[in-house]
């Protein structure tokens, strides 16, 4: 049976950011794991207002599962 890769609905996606502002070394302050990009954006705004730092590395992660794709006809079936 054919499979399709899908986001695992049983696990929440994870988002985060790390401050990479700095001339010779990065600041390194991090948002920690957040449940959505809006939470990370709020942290980024606050961090920029507090420090003036404006360069960040964002990360997004989720869990994936292969699920059977039932709507695709199998070989040899009408």
What is the per-residue pLDDT for 75? 62
pLDDT surpassing 70 at residue 6: yes
The DSSP line for 5-25 is: EEE-TTS--EEEEEE---SSS
Question: If you search the block for the tokens 């499979």, which residue do you land on?
Answer: 3
Question: If you search the block for the tokens 């606050």, which residue do you land on?
Answer: 46
Round to whole Å and give the CA distance between 14 and 36. Answer: 7
Locate the domains of the chain by residue range. 3-68
Round to whole Å and give the CA distance between 19 and 55. Answer: 6
pTM > 0.85: yes or no? no
What is the per-residue pLDDT for 28? 95
Q: pLDDT tier at 66 (50, 70, 90 boundaries)?
A: very high
What is the per-residue pLDDT for 60? 95
Residues in the chain: 78
């Amino acid at each position: 049976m054919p499979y399709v890769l899908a986001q695992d609905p049983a696990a929440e996606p994870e988002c985060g950011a790390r401050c990479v502002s700095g001339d010779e070394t990065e600041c390194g302050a991090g948002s920690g794991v957040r449940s959505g990009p809006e939470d990370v954006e709020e942290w980024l705004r606050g961090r920029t207002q507090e420090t003036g730092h404006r360069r960040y590395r964002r990360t997004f992660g989720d869990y994936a599962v292969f699920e059977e794709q039932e709507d695709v006809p199998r070989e040899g079936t009408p």
